Amino acid sequence: MTSPQPGDRDKVVSKLPAALQQELKIRTAQHGIDIQHAVEAGINAWRGLGSNLSAIDTAGAKSFSTWLPPTQWEEFRADCSVRGVSLVQGLAQSVRLWLDSNPAPGVQRPVVVKRIVVCNQKGGVGKTAVAAGAGQALAEDPDQLHAVGISKHFAHARGTTEDSLEETEYEQLPGLGLRVLLVDFDPQGHLTKQLGHELLPLDGDSLTKHMAGESKGKLADLINVVDEERFGGRLHLLPSCTDAFLLDVKLSGVRAREAALERALAPLEGDYDAILIDCPPSLGLSMDAAVFYGRRRDNETPGNSGVLVVVQAEDSSADAYALLTSQIDDLRADMNLELDYLGIVVNHYDARRGYIATSSLESWMAIRDPRVVGLVGDLKEQKEAVRVKQPLLAYAPRSPQSLAMRALAREIA
């Protein structure tokens, strides 16, 4: 039944209903403690009770093992015998007692809505995929465990010894459970189409019309729910409209045009914890409005909102990055903005492309401000999800790209 374990703990093996095992696994992850410590606390609490608890259905209980302090298991076994309950029943009651005494913590919601501006004026770097994936990861079920990746190549760039992107480690963590709005700010509408929705009609209402002061109704009426069980109604989409091709022209005649996006989205902010803006490949007035929207507000903590730059591991991305940061720095100076970089995401990475890819990645990693916060491989699952018009994290929840998106979400949450 027991075997020695470093740290003065013994391995114990018994049985526990599968549902109770899963609930214990999720709850301990939510509280950030080890299963062994939860079981230890539950047994101690059960042993201290003055009377027996109601019986738990243990039919079909499956093998369960953990590590407990020396003598605790044998003393617990003796207590079960004295109370006239089986060892499996006593263990089930102990685990249930711990679960009832340690309810799931509430979702940690930001005090100020997070505004994440996903940008790069270079097309084809995968801004839409990153915006969609990060938004999905922010909204996943907080009462379920999801695989969160740790790329060994990413770890290598931070000082460890492994360097293969294809070998991905992961840990099981509860979803973040945030209420998320994805805003398709690109007139091409890739985000809208990828998630299986239609572009807004030209003769109807749109975000462009709200920004230009030509609105026909409430912006909230245009929002769609991304209907997947794992997001629990928390993930929403504001679709694009092709009238956004005219946005820069319309903004040129708008007073305080840099604040136009903020004025349009402000009525929605109370309904969300995070708003992600999928920007067009542009350095025009629309980009100014998006950057202004992501500025740090009064009483907002640094890093809560800001700019997330998506690049690739090749030279043209570096040139585009320089142009983008120059525009952002000019806007910061001209308007005296406090604007945070949330980081750089290196997308579509494939080490098999050789020296250009690997050396470019090292160059991105060498930048410390902003630092690289995500590394996403160029793999088939994302392309397949786009083809079938499903969210990546629903289509291939355990793919390396999904693991990377969840890791990214935790970097910027």
How far, in Å, CA of 278 to CA of 301, rounded? 23
**Single-letter residue type at 98:** W
**Residue 156 or 174, more confident:** 174
Q: Considering the domain 114-412 in this protein, what is its CATH number?
A: 3.40.50.300
Q: Is the pTM here over 0.85, yes or no?
A: yes
7 — pLDDT class (breaks 50, 70, 90): low
- The residue written with tokens 């591991």 in the block is 313
**Residue 168 or 309, more confident:** 309
pLDDT score at 141: 97
What is the CB-side half-sphere exposure of residue 191 using CA atoms within 13 A?
Answer: 34
The alpha-helical segments, DSSP class H, found in 84-139 are 87-101, 127-139
Q: Which helix (H) or strand (E) covers residue 31, if one does?
A: helix 18-31
**Single-letter residue type at 281:** P
157 — pLDDT class (breaks 50, 70, 90): very low
86 — pLDDT class (breaks 50, 70, 90): very high
4 — pLDDT class (breaks 50, 70, 90): very low
Mean pLDDT of 149-158: 55
In the chain, what are the domain boundaries? 4-101, 114-412
Q: Is the pLDDT of residue 162 over 60?
A: no
Q: What residues pair up with 307 in beta bridges, in sequence order?
A: 117, 341
Mean pLDDT of 118-139: 93
- The residue written with tokens 């101690």 in the block is 44
pLDDT digits (tens, 9 = 90+) for 364-392: 988 888 999 999 999 899 999 999 999 99
pLDDT digits (tens, 9 = 90+) for 196-217: 999 999 999 999 999 999 998 9
- The residue written with tokens 């708003």 in the block is 275
Mean pLDDT of 345-349: 92
Q: Is the pLDDT of residue 153 over 70?
A: no
Q: Is the pLDDT of residue 160 over 70?
A: no
pLDDT digits (tens, 9 = 90+) for 293-312: 999 999 999 999 999 999 98
pLDDT score at 231: 97
What token pair was written down for 78?
A: 């003796």
Report whether 185 contacts 115 (CB < 8 A). no
pLDDT score at 194: 95
Q: Is the pLDDT of residue 81 over 90?
A: yes
How far, in Å, CA of 100 to CA of 122, rounded? 52
What token pair was written down for 283?
A: 């350095």
403 — pLDDT class (breaks 50, 70, 90): very high
